[in-house]
Amino acid sequence: VNTVNHPTRSDPMSKYKMNPYIPESDAEKAYLEAYDPSKYPSVFTTVDIAIFTMRGGRLHVLLIERADFPYKGCWALPGGFVEPDETLDEAALRELAEETSLTGDQTGHLEQLGTYGDPGRDPRGRIIDVAYIALLPDVPDPEAGSDAAHARFWAIEDLVEEQVQLAFDHPRILADALERAAGKLEYTTLATTFCAEEFTLTDLRRVYEAMWGTALDKANFARKAQQTDGFVVAQDKQRTGGSRGAPARLFKAGDATDLHPAMLRPAEARNAFLPDADARTIRRNR
């Protein structure tokens, strides 16, 4: 059909090339013209985003209070339908911008989490939900959009304590998102995404502590963060007055995206959520 190669280990960029489709034969063109999509089951597609941010050393997630049925009055992850002409990533970016009014000089991270499509997960019909995760530095509470009576950041602890009920299968999506984010901090530099442009090592450590629910040794953490190449870059400044103690040196995020070696969670923080929740073992009969 064309000449684009298969992705190889020696040419990793080729993985992003899709084989363009060019109908060649008349039979092929006739098939495409006669193709009737209505004989296949049709569904609706939404994107939902777990937008995480850090406030006062506590992990927060943005929720909206649903203004309409179904689950009217319930808190839910923000999201919406995918438009016909946009990619899934673009739909997630659009929703993220709508919900948070990003000003353009914001820094953040967005990635696909997974897709949830059980029949019955939405009483309106078969709706496939592609869930995303966004990590943002502290941003203001958003204005309520047309779809949301209220929208605000909730501390995860408060959600648990007040036993807030989330709409649809969002309890599971949020749990998966938390586990994914906690795991990603281990082997990527994404923790800096939660921090302001300049941050102290204590700021950075609090990100890990909030995400893992564990206290970390400040001395060992500081040593490790500075040893890891490209993680943090020391500035010739100090911050004073932010706390009661001595002034702390300021850092910026480095160039690295992966952490070598990894910053592994202590064992007691490993099973905060069930690992590998999405995996299905076909049979384990050993």
* Ranges within 226-285 binding its own copies (CB under 8 A): 252-253, 257-258, 260-262, 264, 267, 270-285
Contacts of 51 (CB under 8 A, 6+ apart): 61, 62, 78, 96, 99, 100, 134, 136
Residue from 55, 94, 126, 152 touching its own copies (CB under 8 A): that is 126
Contacts of 143 (CB under 8 A, 6+ apart): 101, 151
**Span 256-285, contacts to DNA by CB under 7 A:** 261, 263-264, 266
**Span 137-176, contacts to its own copies by CB under 8 A:** 159-160, 163-172, 174-176
Q: Is 107 in the site for DNA (CB under 7 A)?
A: no
DSSP state of 185: H
Which among its own copies, DNA, none contacts residue 249 (Cβ within 5 to 8 A by kind)?
A: DNA
Q: Which stretch binds DNA (CB under 7 A): 4-12, 63-71, 90-98, 222-230?
A: 222-230
Exposed/middle/buried for 130, CB within 10 Å: 0-12, 13-18, 19+? buried
Closest approach, Cβ 228 to DNA, in A, equals 7
For the chain, what is the largest distance between any 2 Cα atoms, rounded to a whole number of angstroms? 78
Q: Is 221 in the site for its own copies (CB under 8 A)?
A: no
Alpha-carbon torsion angle 266, 135, 246, 244, nearest 10 = -100
Closest approach, Cβ 244 to its own copies, in A, equals 29
The CA distance from 197 to 180, in Å, is 24
Closest approach, Cβ 56 to DNA, in A, equals 12
Q: Is 185 in the site for DNA (CB under 7 A)?
A: no
**Token reading at 21:** 């489709």
Q: Is 237 in the site for DNA (CB under 7 A)?
A: no
Which among DNA, its own copies, none contacts residue 215 (Cβ within 5 to 8 A by kind)?
A: none
Q: What kind and span of H or E run contains 155?
A: strand 148-155
Residue from 238, 257, 271, 278 touching DNA (CB under 7 A): that is 238
DSSP state of 190: G
Q: Is 123 in the site for DNA (CB under 7 A)?
A: no
Alpha-carbon torsion angle 208, 186, 238, 136, nearest 10 = -70
Which among its own copies, DNA, none contacts residue 138 (Cβ within 5 to 8 A by kind)?
A: none
Looking from the CA of 157 toward its CB, the CA atoms found within 13 Å total 10
Residue from 17, 29, 150, 218 touching DNA (CB under 7 A): that is 218
Which residues make up the interface to DNA (CB under 7 A)?
Answer: 200-202, 217-220, 222-224, 227, 238, 240-241, 243-249, 261, 263-264, 266
